[in-house]
Structure 1
Amino acid sequence: MDPYHFDPVPDPSANPGPNGSPSNPGPGYTPGSAPGPGYMPGPETSRNIGYPPPGAQVPPAQGPYPPGPGAYPPGPSPYPAGDPYQGGYAGMPPQYAPVPPPSSGMPVAGWIGIALGVVLLLGLGITGIVLTSDDDDDPGTTTADPGGDGGGGGSDATSNADPTEDVVADPVAEAVIGDCFYNYGDETTPELETAVCGAGAFEAVDIIEGTSDLTSCDSNPVVNLSVTSTGTDRVLCLSYTVIDGDDAYHAQVGECVYGTSTAGSAWYVLDCQDGAFKVIERIDGESSTSSCTDSTYYIYGVGYSTGETYLDTTLCLQMLYASGDTGYAEVDDCLSMNSDYTYAEFVSDCDDGNAYVTGRTNEIVDGESWCNGWGWAYEEVPDFPELSFTVCWGWL
């Protein structure tokens, strides 16, 4: 079963802004456009089951396996096809520039315009002569010579004064927890500048006093950059914000996350539950889900691409199906099914199981007819319809 993936922050082709800021992320991403704290898409699945009585056999005429998906027409899809994109607003007429009809010769209005233009030019010329004469006759008008050395005017005094050097503040020395910065340098030679907290900024989540050891922040899983300076004996532990409202970027293996497949949308950490995604692998320094290990439970991936390799992260995810391992089972896999047929787990030896898979499709179909007398189960995932499935099974 091919895993699916999603890259919420497209890889920018150029990054002239702060280190790690998605300056040209492409369509679908707008910094600060993620849903606010009051909105969180919730994990949700719906399912149904049907089962033969224990010991029941498939009708002999049908053979040992259910017919393929083409044998029975699937029911109507619950996801209607989207309308093709149309620009503008509903009912807006086509926008085009009207083409004037061809004409021969110059119209009367043209000759009138030319005559008016000549009169205007003559008037402006006379005005210019008057203004020039006035300036020459005014003894109080002078022009400062920035390169001259005559006179003791204030302008010369100001230009000859010694410049005062600007005092550059040390952001490390003055930072407190909660301050945010842009990094115009890189991972090894950071150049911090105070910034508003949000997408593309680093937030100081901890400050270690009395040391310049950059490894002192390593135990904090949300820290992406450690910074110190020569004039201080402290280390700033900085956490990067890739998308406003997103905290799944820092999720660790074993934690559960959820979001949507909309590009640029925020994902978030939540309690593990049916319909949520569980992080089974976290790969730092990678933004492509192709780096995820191909395993039984890897079904979806989220890749964060920032333009800076050290900030890129990929989460390899398992969906927690309400039906358990039924959601991952292939034809001929053996399962241990509970007494009400709603949940199943893989078994290493079919002698330890009580059911096996006889058919599977990643669509929601009429299980009762498609499975043709075998037991059946389907689970629908509204936010990720491609992860829905229908499975046929029989007793061992």
Structure 2
Amino acid sequence: MRPLRDEEPRRIGPYRVLAELGEGGMGRVLLAAADDGQLVALKVMRPHLLHDAQFRFRFRREVITSREVAASPWTAAVLASDEDAPEPWLASEFFHGPTLAEAIGANGPLDEPASRRLMHGLAAGLADVHRHNVVHRDLKPSNVILTEDGVKIIDFGIARVPGPQGDATITETGALVGAPAYMSPEQITKRPVGPPSDLFSLGTSVITAGTGQSPFDAESLFDIMSNVVNGRPDLRALPVSLRPLVEACMDKDPDRRVTAADLLARVGEPLAGPWPPSIAALEARQRDEVADLARRNGWDTQVRPDRTVVMFGPGFVPAGDPMPEGPTVVQGAAQDAGDPIPEGPTTPYPPDGSFPHPPGGLPPAPKPDRTILYGAFAIVAVIALAGLVFLLGDRDEPEPGSGAGEESEETSAYEDWDGDWDSETTATEPEPEPDPIRDAAIGDCFYDYGGEFEADLEPAYCDDGTFEVVDVFYGNTDLSSCDYTDRVSTRVSSSAHDMVLCLSYRHGYGDAYHAEVGECVFGPEEADSVWYVIDCQTGAFRVLERLPGESDMDLCTDSTYYNHAFWFTTSETYLDVLLCLQYIYPDDMGYAELNNCMYMSGDPSAGATYTFSDCDGANVYVTGRTDEYEASGFCGNDGWSTWASSDFAVHRYTVCWRYL
């Protein structure tokens, strides 16, 4: 927990902001208090994303998804939100307890009972999440809180609702968003992602908890992704009893992985008892920090029966202590392993029904591709009509030798049929010819033989160089309908069908083609390589500018901290994209220049951390810089800091400094 900076707001929406809990790619998480004293984890968007409509739409989607799973006892319920505020925010329940990542970092691997209890909680939580038809897609130790009475899964920022084929029906198709070391193979290779993906991440997280490190860790991001797709995790460091449970999650083929419900039955009920003392100590320290924060303002804290936390004192209007309604699931309580998890009441939308939607309304559900079905109908109809014509011809022209009133075998056969010709003819009339525009559904692809201002679409397989339908709007021809859809390259309206198609170009160099400012990307150094959108972390590249229609990297030189570029060229100039990038170094020393003032934390001989600082508050200043690694001779008698990228030879440095 970090104190607020002087320039930060002290109130957001109806909440009083108290401290910072953490931060991620899209925003920061703050500790805040409602007017009745209830503490919340308040997620707010990063300032540089506030004017980006696509990020606002993602934030809105996170709110919707989080509300869907809020009834689960294994997630933090959404209490309130305002996606349309100048600074959009999402408030969810606050619980005392460290994240799994914090617990491992502070005290090392969990013991067998704690690892089994963790696996039980994760399996139960995912079973609930999947029952709501949601895939988390970013399950990792930093998104798991170890509370006094169990596990809480948090952060549904990139969760998705699976489509008809088990794929994530989303606008950013195949984008590699998340932490690669905890992804599934299908996420990295851009295959359909469904509930089995979460089970692979569960297995990786449990291995990390039981051994102290991810089984797929490597020096470079490329090697991490390769290990996830091709490597086999070493389970020998896990307790013998847990190995088959974890192994059932780690199959590279998602169809062969265990489901969350089945895993829950296999794990069985964990032994009752608290977390290990080291985890309890972390929770106690957090309780003390929150209590101390309250005391400094003349308040006190209380943990309510539902384990949420309230402050009370001057300025708060207490709302009382709510008691849990109906049965609650408490980890460690007796329960048959095969029993379903109680679903509990669904968290309602605002009572006035005013839950906000994107402009233009929510998009309709994707329509299935009926091309094959239409073809089959057409063939059956042709055969039926041909047979009908043949039979009618025989009836009108009886064979020679049969009298006018003479009954033949053919006419007696007709008398056995008790329908009428008109209804039969109507029933076999073919349906209209398939229209690729009218029948387009999310996930269909087209070639566009037109240009920037006029489309000429032809149906195609979804290969590189095609345009994929990422949204369909009916009842209007307004191209701005696509404004709140991610990854849109072009828009097509059809007055004949009164509809709009939002299309996304599929570039052969990967989904980084659609990366927006503030997102991070990564790929191999070699030319003509595939780049992905990825979580922001050391070794990745943060997008500083996205310049459509450009491929001249000299246009990037004015970007702050610009040190890399990647461009995507196409056969149409308007589809070209230039990304101006910032390589993410371990700390600010990677960006330091001569005479910069910095604050050094820690022992330089053991690996200190350097951050930019005003010279009045700094303790060192930069005396030189070279793009060589471990060039200590360059610094003479000055101190020095050095680092080198395992993926990009150009990103290495030795920076010299002196004490102020």
Shared fold (TM-score, shorter chain, > 0.5): yes
Is the contact between residue 545 and residue 559 of structure 2 (CA under 8 Å) also seen in structure 1?
A: no
Structure-2 residue corresponding to 1:251: 515
Task: Return the match for 1:308 from 538, 549, 572.
Answer: 572
Is the contact between residue 172 and residue 227 of structure 1 (CA under 8 Å) also seen in structure 2?
A: no
SS at match of 2:484: coil
Is the contact between residue 559 and residue 580 of structure 2 (CA under 8 Å) also seen in structure 1?
A: no
Determine whether 1:329 maps to 2:508: no
Unaligned ranges ≥5, structure 2: 1-187, 192-215, 224-431
SS at match of 1:172: coil
- How far does residue 364 in structure 1 lie from its aligned partner after superposition? 1.2
Structure-2 residue corresponding to 1:184: 449
- How far does residue 370 in structure 1 lie from its aligned partner after superposition? 3.4
Deviations 1:41-99 (A, max 9, x none): 7169xxxxxxxxxxxxxxxxxxxxxxxxxxxxxxxxxxxxxxxxxxxxxxxxxxxxxxx
Deviations 1:171-205 (A, max 9, x none): 21121111100000112110001111121000001
Task: Return the match for 2:639 from 351, 368, 375.
Answer: 375
Alignment of 1:206-355 (within 5 A): 206-243=471-508, 246-322=510-586, 324-341=587-604, 342-347=608-613, 349-355=614-620
- The number of residues matched between the two structures is 237
- How far does residue 228 in structure 1 lie from its aligned partner after superposition? 1.9
- How far does residue 384 in structure 1 lie from its aligned partner after superposition? 1.0
Q: Aligned in 2, Cα 1:43/1:256: closer, same or farther, shift over 3 Å?
A: farther
Structure-2 residue corresponding to 1:362: 627
- How far does residue 37 in structure 1 lie from its aligned partner after superposition? 4.6
In the superposition, the TM-score normalised over structure 1's length comes to 0.56
Q: Aligned in 2, Cα 1:180/1:290: closer, same or farther, shift over 3 Å?
A: same
Structure-2 residue corresponding to 1:120: none
SS at match of 2:494: coil
Is the contact between residue 300 and residue 318 of structure 1 (CA under 8 Å) also seen in structure 2?
A: yes
Which has the larger share of helix?
2
Deviations 1:223-271 (A, max 9, x none): 1111122320111111101116x11111111111111222221111111
1:318 and 1:209 mapped to 2: Cα distance? Answer: 40
Is the contact between residue 286 and residue 314 of structure 1 (CA under 8 Å) also seen in structure 2?
A: yes
- How far does residue 36 in structure 1 lie from its aligned partner after superposition? 4.5
SS at match of 2:650: helix
Deviations 1:246-297 (A, max 9, x none): 1111111111111122222111111111111111111122122221142440
Q: Which amino acid aligns with 2:562?
A: Y
> Which is greater in Rg?
1
1:273 and 1:182 mapped to 2: Cα distance? Answer: 36
Q: Which amino acid aligns with 1:330?
A: E
Deviations 1:327-381 (A, max 9, x none): 111222111222344222223x3222111111211011342x4322221111111
Is the contact between residue 172 and residue 235 of structure 1 (CA under 8 Å) also seen in structure 2?
A: no
Structure 1 ranges of 4+ moved more than 3 A: 35-41, 167-170
2:222 and 2:599 mapped to 1: Cα distance? Answer: 25
Determine whether 1:42 maps to 2:42: no
- How far does residue 311 in structure 1 lie from its aligned partner after superposition? 1.1
2:465 and 2:433 mapped to 1: Cα distance? Answer: 23
1:291 and 1:183 mapped to 2: Cα distance? Answer: 29
1:168 and 1:229 mapped to 2: Cα distance? Answer: 17
Is the contact between residue 445 and residue 462 of structure 2 (CA under 8 Å) also seen in structure 1?
A: yes
Q: Aligned in 2, Cα 1:266/1:255: closer, same or farther, shift over 3 Å?
A: same
Q: Which amino acid aligns with 1:230?
A: S
State the superposition RMSD in angstroms.
2.5
Determine whether 1:197 maps to 2:462: yes
Is the contact between residue 180 and residue 203 of structure 1 (CA under 8 Å) also seen in structure 2?
A: yes
Q: Which amino acid aligns with 1:222?
A: R
1:320 and 1:366 mapped to 2: Cα distance? Answer: 21
SS at match of 1:318: strand
Q: Aligned in 2, Cα 1:168/1:284: closer, same or farther, shift over 3 Å?
A: farther
Is the contact between residue 228 and residue 236 of structure 1 (CA under 8 Å) also seen in structure 2?
A: yes
Q: Aligned in 2, Cα 1:325/1:178: closer, same or farther, shift over 3 Å?
A: same
2:449 and 2:646 mapped to 1: Cα distance? Answer: 42
Is the contact between residue 257 and residue 279 of structure 1 (CA under 8 Å) also seen in structure 2?
A: yes
1:264 and 1:186 mapped to 2: Cα distance? Answer: 25
Q: Which amino acid aligns with 1:270?
A: I
Q: Identity across aligned pairs (percent)?
A: 48
Is the contact between residue 284 and residue 312 of structure 1 (CA under 8 Å) also seen in structure 2?
A: yes
Q: Aligned in 2, Cα 1:292/1:370: closer, same or farther, shift over 3 Å?
A: closer
Alignment of 1:154-165 (within 5 A): none
1:221 and 1:37 mapped to 2: Cα distance? Answer: 17
Deviations 1:285-319 (A, max 9, x none): 21222211424400001111113222111111111
Q: Aligned in 2, Cα 1:360/1:306: closer, same or farther, shift over 3 Å?
A: same
